[in-house]
Structure 1
Amino acid sequence: MGKYKRYCKTLTLTDNPSLIEEYKKVHAKGAAWKEITEGMKEVGILDMEIYLFGSQLFMIMDTIPDFDHDQAMSELAHKPRQAEWEAFVSRFQETDASVSAKRKWQLMDRIYELEQTENYITENGQLKDTNKVDIKSEIV
Structure 2
Amino acid sequence: MADRQRHVLLLDLIDDADAIARYEAWHADGALPPAIGRSIRTAGVTAMDIYRAGTRLVMVMDTAEGFDPAAKAAADAADPDVQAWETLMASVQRPIPTAAPGEKWVEAARIFTLAGQP
Aligned residue for 2:98?
none
Are the counterparts in 2 of residues 35 and 80 from structure 1 also a CA contact under 8 Å?
A: no
Read off the aligned partner of 1:18 and give its amino acid letter. D
Note the residue ranges of structure 1 that are not aligned, 5 or more in a row.
Answer: 96-101, 118-140
Alignment size in residue pairs: 111
Shift of 1:72: 2.3
In structure 2, relative to structure 1, the CA distance for the partners of 1:2 and 1:112 (3 Å cut) is closer
- Partner residue, 2:39: 39
For the residues of structure 1 that align with 2:110 and 2:2, how far apart are their CA atoms? 21
Identity of aligned residues (%): 31
Q: Which amino acid aligns with 1:81?
A: D
- Output the CA distance in 1 between the equivalents of 2:74 and 2:106: 15
**Cα deviations by residue, 1:93-125 (Å, 9 ceiling, x for unpaired):** 126xxxxxx9311111111111139xxxxxxxx
Consecutive unaligned residues of structure 2, counting only runs of 5 or more, are 96-101
Partners of 1:10 and 1:56 within 8 A in 2: yes
Contact 2:5 2:62 in 1 (8 A): yes
Determine the structure 2 residue equivalent to 1:59: 59
Q: Secondary structure at the match of 1:15?
A: coil
Matched residue, 2:110: 110
TM-score normalised over the length of structure 1? 0.72
TM-score by length of 2: 0.84
8 Å contact 2:76–2:83 — kept in the other structure?
Answer: no
Q: Which amino acid aligns with 2:8?
A: C
The separation in 2 between residues aligned to 1:112 and 1:24, in whole angstroms, is 29
Secondary structure of 2:94's aligned partner: coil
CA contact (8 A) 1:13 1:20 kept: yes
Distance in 2, Cα, partners of 1:109 & 1:27: 25
**4+ residue runs of structure 1 moved beyond 6 angstroms?**
none
